[in-house]
A and B are shown apart, each in its own frame.
Chain A
Amino acid sequence: MNKISDTVGSRVPHHDAIDKVTGGRGFPVNVNLAGMLHGRLLRSPYAHAEIVSINIEAAQSLPGVRAILTPDDVTQKTYSPIYFMPTEGLACIQDMSLMGRRIRHAGQAVAAVAADTIEIAEQAAQLIDIEYKELPAVFNVDDALADGAPAIHDYTNNNVALNETFETGDPDAGFAEADYVFEHTYETSRINICSLEPHVCVSDVDPAGNVVIHSSMQHLYGLREKLAFVLDLPVSKVKVIKPPYIGGGFGGKLDITPIEPLSAILSKMTGRPVRMVLSRAEEFMTSNKCPIKVELKTGVKADGTITARQATSTLDAGGYATHGSTVIMVHGLFGYCFTYSCENRRWNGRSIHTNNVTSGGFRGYGGPQASFAVEQQVDEMCNELGLDPVEFRIKNSHREGEKHPFFDGNFTTYRFDECLRLGAERIGWADRKPAGSGVGPIKSGIGLGCAVAWTSNCAAQPDLYEHSGAFIKLNPDGSADVCSAAIDIGCGQNTVFCQIVAAELGIPVEQVRMASADTSNVPFDAPMHASRGTNAVGAAVKAAAADTKKQLFKVAATMLDCKPEDLESNDGQVFVTTSPENTVSIATVAARADSPLVTMTSEGPQKDSTPFRGTIIGSSSLSPTTSPIPAAAMYIKVDVNTDTGEVKVVKAVYAHDIGKVINPAGAEGQVEGGLQQAIGYTLMEHTQFDSETGACLTSDFLDYKMATAVEMPSEIDCIFIESDDPDGPFGAKSLSECCLIAPPGAIANAIYNATGARVRDLPITPEKVLRALGKL
């Protein structure tokens, strides 16, 4: 029996699934402390303004109000709220303060109230009287860049938060060498993260100023660092409690919002725990995917060889730089430059301030915006030149074994061509009809879109928190507790980590569980982001398990009368490799190590001769040195009603070079869930803002259409190509973000194949389809 294949690679049900189907006790939204007060924010109705005066008298006199905070009461020092960037880091723009007197987008927090109930807090917030001086505002990038546009920040006088150019090879020579040069412009829209559990926190500050916080954020240590910075405390005075799991993250819970520091200050003022939770309407103005306009220029030879690639990307960062200034770089480098293999590249990316809401992080972090453009243009070029889009992609892709031209992420394993070929076979690519052919109003089409080479988990990039660590403890019943700061945001990491530990230690997976943790008792871990959980944290828990196994074998060797190196473990037993009948259970070994040194018997105290005593533990603290590169191809089949413009995705075939699959059901879930977000992103979702006031018009799910079970295809076919990555735990690479990077282009290309109509801006609504068909 091979334990690894029994545990790693099997459809182990999620360890917390029974808890979640019976109520889900572990969500941060459930945290309820004795004496807890409730906080609410007041938000600015103006997009660009200065606060002239604040009157809190009426609010203060409302019974049940315990404390009120306004910009006058809190620090005005600036910071970047992004968790994975240390506040003192070089690359992040520090342009946000906790509650500033200057308003830069509608909905910016201007006051906070703590009261006995949330209703009283809300009522009091509405009684706060603030006089504003309105300033001229801009709500699109062109207006923000125009001569004489109002300056939104002092640190930049032209509203440009970031302007970076990156070039390799000789793009001009590459374009000169090309037989054809294609130029197209694509635009993506603002969509909301829509994690169903809202942002929530409960802060509890003792009289000595020690902060304990429960939160729904995706990064335990990032929250500690940011909170300590904003509150001007040493990190040792901030303890972040790890939730057993949170109700979705998707990158939208990667930055500190006003509620975490404000609830802590309110708790300090009142001496009571303070809970703050965002309403759904507030969520819609909080974590929206950055809209980017991408102008592409690509040179190609008649045989389909790309000779030069150039892109100009313009991102609307909104009122504060935060993610806008990092998403643009990830978009440009990971999402655009280092995908197809062509040494002549030029990319210019700008992140522009407007008075729109601040753009946030969202699964793929700039990748989907790039792939929507690039993958559509590949399709457009192939149509024009009569080339097969599958062969074109294979011709222009990197090859396994190549060194990455820029990053510490070599193509050690890279089976993109297999993704393309297997997917093509499964969708019936060979039978694809010419664009727009077919009779009747409902037309079917097939499209292809790819995550060509996603350099995920940002290994070895400067200014990024990317290391991982773990502790493991063996119990006398043979079970293991795994302690990690990595939070399960819904991807099933709690289960995957248990599977990895079980396989490494040789114990049944039911015997492994994730222990509770907080920032005072576990090693640092990077956020659960960037598709890094299985690969990076998985490697850390595997290393901790290997360390634990060393201690286990030292004790077991004394019991089996052999050397530690002669031992192996499997199915809860330690045995001698050369004589497997010579065995002892892991429980017995752990109990022996844990037991007292001296046993009292009728013959007097008996001293145990086992030389290694005490609980068997192991630990790890790793910094990633490599970043294995996944790749994916998504084939989409759509039906388009050419009378109404409605698009229905009817089938998806997704092929992904994932390395080793640790949990197939969990991996499929990432693909299926990514498709839900992709269908929304491509066809229906759009957070709406008033173009004249910047006010968020989307306040609930009745205003915001995302795919329900009805809009999803019943056929979702997952093909996992298991290349064996030498650096990943048991060969595992990564998956999650690619599931949102590959589909948007595929859906757009399928619409073109069905109808012959090309829509280059998101979302592709029925109206846009009809307009592209010339029917509107």
Chain B
Amino acid sequence: MKKNISLNVNGEARDLCIPPNETLLDTLRTEMFLTGSKQGCDTGGCGCCTVLIDGESRYSCMTYTVTVGERNVTTIEGISEGETLDKLQQAFVDTGAVQCGYCTCGMIMSAKQLLSTNPNPSESEIRKGLSGNLCRCTGYHKIVEAVKVAAQSEVK
């Protein structure tokens, strides 16, 4: 049995007919072709699927789409404007924080929530803020640096 819903993603409402047990990650990837949110574990352990729901970072693999309701979902595809990257995206590029890149989008979304609640975080606050996101390539070193750079450019 499927259910008709309206889902607000990146500022646009979409009418969808989906099974009630479909995760937001599956809806984004398979119904809406927003493949920036990645499947890494399906159990809320890696953070590759992180999106913002009304500004709060959430594992989309642990969220049923039907529970989102009227709230606004923001994915990595929704944070840049045309060719102008979000400050975090630009900082990830500039600092060399991207290696294989599979964790990158989820990492940026978690950092986005961190900076929205704490625009000038300390290094240890950045590390804690990213601790729900795993990375196997970078050792997080340049990712932490990227968030610092993005925070500084916000402050300026």
| CB of B24 within 8 Å of the partner chain | no
What are the residues of chain A within 8 A of B94 when measuring CB–CB? Answer: 13
CB of B45 within 8 A of CB of A22, answer no
Per-position binary interface string of chain B over residues 33-54, scored 1 when its CB falls under 8 Å from any chain A CB and 0 otherwise = 0111011111111101000000
Per-position binary interface string of chain A over residues 10-48, scored 1 when its CB falls under 8 Å from any chain B CB and 0 otherwise = 010110111111111101011000000000000000000
- Chain A, range 181-204, C-beta contacts under 8 Å to B: 194-198
Residue of B44, B94, B139 ringed by the most chain A CB atoms within 10 A? B139
Per-position binary interface string of chain B over residues 125-138, scored 1 when its CB falls under 8 Å from any chain A CB and 0 otherwise = 01110111111111
- Chain A, range 390-426, C-beta contacts under 8 Å to B: none
What are the residues of chain A within 8 A of B136 when measuring CB–CB? Answer: 194-196, 248, 250, 673, 676-677, 706
B127, closest chain A residue (CB): A709
| CB of B57 within 8 Å of the partner chain | no
| CB of A719 within 8 Å of the partner chain | no
| CB of A701 within 8 Å of the partner chain | yes
What are the residues of chain B within 8 A of A672 when measuring CB–CB? Answer: 138-142
Per-position binary interface string of chain B over residues 75-104, scored 1 when its CB falls under 8 Å from any chain A CB and 0 otherwise = 011001000010001001111101111111
What are the residues of chain B within 8 A of A489 when measuring CB–CB? Answer: 100
CB of B45 within 8 A of CB of A709, answer no
Contact partner of A708 (CB less than 8 A), chosen from B48, B77, B98, B130, is B130
What are the residues of chain A within 8 A of B115 when measuring CB–CB? Answer: none
A572 to chain B minimum Cβ distance, whole angstroms, is: 23
CB of A17 within 8 A of CB of B93, answer yes
| CB of B105 within 8 Å of the partner chain | yes
Task: Say what secondary structure dominates the interface of chain A.
Answer: loop
What are the residues of chain A within 8 A of B73 when measuring CB–CB? Answer: none
B54 to chain A minimum Cβ distance, whole angstroms, is: 22
A454 to chain B minimum Cβ distance, whole angstroms, is: 20
CB of A701 within 8 A of CB of B144, answer no
B99, closest chain A residue (CB): A490
Complex CA distance for A270 and B85, rounded to whole angstroms: 43
Residue of B99, B130, B135 ringed by the most chain A CB atoms within 10 A? B99
CB of B85 within 8 A of CB of A21, answer yes
CB of A669 within 8 A of CB of B142, answer yes
| CB of B108 within 8 Å of the partner chain | yes
Complex CA distance for A668 and B101, rounded to whole angstroms: 16
- Chain A, range 640-694, C-beta contacts under 8 Å to B: 665-666, 668-669, 671-677
Contact partner of B98 (CB less than 8 A), chosen from A21, A248, A671, is A21
CB of B93 within 8 A of CB of A21, answer yes
CB of A669 within 8 A of CB of B45, answer no
Query: Which stretch in A344-352, A370-378, A508-516, A710-718 binds the other chain?
Result: A710-718
CB of A248 within 8 A of CB of B85, answer no
Assuming A17-B92, A669-B99, is B140 touching A708 (CB within 8 A)? yes
CB of A280 within 8 A of CB of B41, answer yes
| CB of A492 within 8 Å of the partner chain | yes
Contact partner of A280 (CB less than 8 A), chosen from B43, B80, B105, B142, is B43
| CB of A702 within 8 Å of the partner chain | yes
- Chain A, range 236-286, C-beta contacts under 8 Å to B: 245-248, 250, 279-280
| CB of A491 within 8 Å of the partner chain | yes
A289 to chain B minimum Cβ distance, whole angstroms, is: 13
- Chain B, range 99-156, C-beta contacts under 8 Å to A: 99-105, 108, 123, 126-128, 130-144
What are the residues of chain B within 8 A of A702 when measuring CB–CB? Answer: 43-45
CB of A709 within 8 A of CB of B43, answer no
Contact partner of B135 (CB less than 8 A), chosen from A19, A280, A676, is A676
| CB of A700 within 8 Å of the partner chain | yes
What are the residues of chain B within 8 A of A250 when measuring CB–CB? Answer: 136
What are the residues of chain A within 8 A of B130 when measuring CB–CB? Answer: 708-709
A22, closest chain B residue (CB): B80
CB of B89 within 8 A of CB of A669, answer no
CB of A280 within 8 A of CB of B40, answer yes
CB of B98 within 8 A of CB of A17, answer yes
What are the residues of chain A within 8 A of B38 when measuring CB–CB? Answer: 24, 27, 29, 196-197, 247
A495 to chain B minimum Cβ distance, whole angstroms, is: 10
CB of A21 within 8 A of CB of B92, answer yes
Complex CA distance for A714 and B35, rounded to whole angstroms: 32
CB of B96 within 8 A of CB of A195, answer no
B141 to chain A minimum Cβ distance, whole angstroms, is: 4
B79, closest chain A residue (CB): A22
What are the residues of chain A within 8 A of B137 when measuring CB–CB? Answer: 248, 490, 669, 673
CB of A706 within 8 A of CB of B134, answer yes
CB of A712 within 8 A of CB of B93, answer no
Contact partner of A674 (CB less than 8 A), chosen from B40, B76, B131, B139, is B139
CB of A196 within 8 A of CB of B77, answer no
What are the residues of chain A within 8 A of B77 when measuring CB–CB? Answer: 22-23
Complex CA distance for A112 and B25, rounded to whole angstroms: 25
CB of B40 within 8 A of CB of A20, answer no
Contact partner of B102 (CB less than 8 A), chosen from A18, A21, A197, is A197
CB of B89 within 8 A of CB of A675, answer no
CB of B144 within 8 A of CB of A280, answer no
What are the residues of chain B within 8 A of A196 when measuring CB–CB? Answer: 38, 40, 46, 48, 100, 102-103, 134-136
A664 to chain B minimum Cβ distance, whole angstroms, is: 9
Complex CA distance for A250 and B137, rounded to whole angstroms: 9
CB of B39 within 8 A of CB of A24, answer no
What are the residues of chain B within 8 A of A674 when measuring CB–CB? Answer: 139
B12 to chain A minimum Cβ distance, whole angstroms, is: 16
CB of B139 within 8 A of CB of A20, answer no
A674, closest chain B residue (CB): B139
Complex CA distance for A701 and B131, rounded to whole angstroms: 13
CB of A716 within 8 A of CB of B139, answer yes
A253 to chain B minimum Cβ distance, whole angstroms, is: 11
What are the residues of chain A within 8 A of B92 when measuring CB–CB? Answer: 17, 21
CB of B93 within 8 A of CB of A18, answer yes
B46 to chain A minimum Cβ distance, whole angstroms, is: 6
What are the residues of chain B within 8 A of A248 when measuring CB–CB? Answer: 100, 102, 136-137
Complex CA distance for A666 and B35, rounded to whole angstroms: 26
CB of B40 within 8 A of CB of A13, answer no
Complex CA distance for A289 and B58, rounded to whole angstroms: 32
CB of B141 within 8 A of CB of A712, answer yes
Complex CA distance for A224 and B105, rounded to whole angstroms: 31
B98 to chain A minimum Cβ distance, whole angstroms, is: 4
Complex CA distance for A675 and B99, rounded to whole angstroms: 15
Complex CA distance for A19 and B93, rounded to whole angstroms: 10
Complex CA distance for A246 and B99, rounded to whole angstroms: 10
Complex CA distance for A716 and B76, rounded to whole angstroms: 29
CB of B96 within 8 A of CB of A669, answer yes
On B, residues with C-beta under 8 Å from A are: 34-36, 38-46, 48, 76-77, 80, 85, 89, 92-96, 98-105, 108, 123, 126-128, 130-144
List the 4 closest pairs (A to B, CB-CB), nearest first: A490-B100, A701-B45, A247-B102, A20-B101
A-B CB contact pairs (8 Å), 20 listed: A14-B93, A14-B96, A21-B85, A22-B85, A22-B89, A24-B35, A27-B102, A196-B102, A196-B103, A198-B40, A250-B136, A490-B137, A668-B141, A668-B142, A672-B138, A672-B140, A674-B139, A702-B43, A706-B134, A709-B130
Can you add 13 more A-B contacts, CB < 8 Å, to A669-B142, A709-B144?
A14-B96, A16-B101, A18-B85, A195-B100, A196-B48, A197-B102, A491-B99, A665-B96, A669-B96, A676-B138, A700-B45, A701-B134, A714-B144
